[in-house]
Amino acid sequence: MPEPDKVEFVSASSIRRLFNESQFPRMINAMQLTVEYLRNTHLKEPEKKNEPYCTHGQMIRYIGLDRQWVAEIFQYLRPDGTLGASGRPDPKRLRMHGKVYIVNLDNKQL
């Protein structure tokens, strides 16, 4: 039985850096990961987020070939297919290097 992954809480900027420097963005763009929508809903008040009508808030889990999740990201998907806010996925959890990295929501200045 494999050992469980160690958990490390990191800042939002650290997890973004880890995600952006990893193979995950390339694999996502190449559709090499299975997509599981944890949430995919219309924003109730998109104007408060400076997003157009019919924008979706999405929490997406990506699953690798070994059937384990590798990344969970949040994004705003606009009706034209572009990403809102920063224009990039916002990672919340990553599994890599034998660890699970999770955004520390209590202390954003880690």
Range of the domain at 80: 6-103
Sign of CA dihedral 82, 88, 92, 98: positive
The reply to whether 1 falls in a domain is no
The reply to whether 74 falls in a domain is yes
Return the higher-pLDDT residue of 105 and 73: 73
The reply to whether 110 falls in a domain is no
Compute the mean pLDDT over every residue in the chain, rounded to the nearest whole number. Answer: 92
The reply to whether 62 falls in a domain is yes
The reply to whether 76 falls in a domain is yes
Mean pLDDT (whole number) for 8-34: 96
**pLDDT value of position 110:** 43
N-terminal to C-terminal alpha carbon distance within the chain = 33
Number of domains in the chain: 1
The residue to which tokens 């520390």 are assigned: 104
The reply to whether 73 falls in a domain is yes
pLDDT tens, residue by residue, 55-84: 999 999 999 999 999 999 999 999 999 999
